[in-house]
Amino acid sequence: MRRQEIPNVALFSLTSENSYAGLGNDFHLKAWCGVVVSDTMEDIRSMLLANAVDAESAIQIFNKEWDLIIRKFEKGNFPELEKQLTQTAEQFREIPLRHPPEAVPTISLVGEIFVRRDELSRQYLTERLAEKGFATICSPIAEWALYSDYLVDKGLVDYTMSMRDKLSFVLKKMYMARYTKRIKSILADSGLAHAEPLNIRSIINNATPHLSLNLTGEAILTVGSSLAEIASHSCGVIAIGPFGCMPNRLAEALLSEVMTHEGKLATDPNNKQLRSVLTGLDDLPFLAIESDGSPFPQLITAKLESFCLRAKRLHNKMLDIKNQRKTRLN
């Protein structure tokens, strides 16, 4: 502000205590569309890295389409954005793949928001796993926004809404759900991403046997997401966070105990297919990593190699049982 010669400037910080109401609903919804598109495109990029016949050419197409999407965001016109997303999905559908996407082993990357999304902080983990044939599904940034809404709904924050605020909050959530469904369904036509919206209540319900709802923060999301994804949608979970991050260490301590046959089955005890997948397994593929931006030490590299072997075995078992079930149904 000194450079602009603007005197008497007051800075106001946004807060999750009121679910970022300071943004205003109009900007909030536009930003939300950006988050949903970004989250989904990151998963598509990972699938292309791991599964495209020519990964280099596929990423060039991806980057070109991403630039076109950003231009539509700059104009702030949702119908134009939808049109561009539809064209992008068509372009992605033409990219030759080595395997059907459902046959590609996937790793869930959970943990602290910045580290799991920043390439340097996570030491290009997505690319390293892609070289081994794994697509990385990174926990979406949308997860935190939905969690913030959940905390407001449950009265777990020090914030009281007026009747007008409550009405605005309800309308905002309705439009968020509508835009999420539309964006995801369009990009799912590429065959490289799923259309299912994030179920924040399910994630939290998976974690509450191990963490109190009153202990708000990223730890409960890391634990809940890990238990939700492993052996159901992914064959391994990596929890990554900054060096010395307390929520990440808390989640690591809990997941080291509950990422087991019993811990996973407790999330869906009546699922016969899941029970078959878990038969003969004890500890499930899980790896915790602390990052300070430096290259991973040899110990982490060795653990990553072992983790990938275990994840591949679980993926093969999941795929075999899924194929057996299809055969019985046919």
User: Domain of 260?
Assistant: 24-329
- The H or E element that residue 8 is part of is none
What pLDDT tens digit does each residue of the chain (330 aa) get? 678 778 788 777 777 777 777 777 778 888 899 999 999 999 999 999 999 999 999 999 999 999 999 999 988 888 899 999 999 999 999 999 999 999 999 999 999 999 998 888 898 999 999 999 999 999 999 999 999 999 988 888 887 778 888 888 888 889 899 999 999 999 999 999 988 888 999 999 999 999 999 988 899 999 999 999 999 999 999 999 998 889 899 999 999 999 999 999 999 999 988 999 998 888 999 999 998 888 888 999 999 999 999 999 999 999 988 888 777 766
- Residue 162, classified by CB atoms within 10 Å of its CB into exposed (0-12), middle (13-18) or buried (19+), is exposed
Could you tell me the end-to-end alpha-carbon distance of the chain, in angstroms, rounded to an integer?
68
> Residue 247 in contact with residue 219, Cβ under 8 Å?
yes
Of 210, 216, 218, nearest in space to 258 by CA: 210
> Does 182 fall in a domain?
yes
Kindly give, in sequence order, each residue whose CB lies less than 8 Å from that of residue 234, ignoring residues fewer than 6 positions away. 106, 107, 108, 137
> Count of domains in the chain?
1
In a domain, 1, yes or no: no
Give the C-alpha distances (Å, rounded to integers) separating 62 from 58, 59, 90, 198: 6, 5, 12, 24
For residue 287, tell me if it sits in a domain. Answer: yes
Whether residue 12 lies inside any domain: the answer is: no
Residue with tokens 């598109």: 37
> Is residue 254 in some structural domain?
yes
Q: Which of 135, 72, 75 is nearest to 103 (CA)?
A: 135
Q: Is residue 7 part of a domain?
A: no
Question: What is the C-alpha to C-alpha distance for residues 293 and 146, in angstroms, rounded to an integer?
Answer: 28
In a domain, 211, yes or no: yes
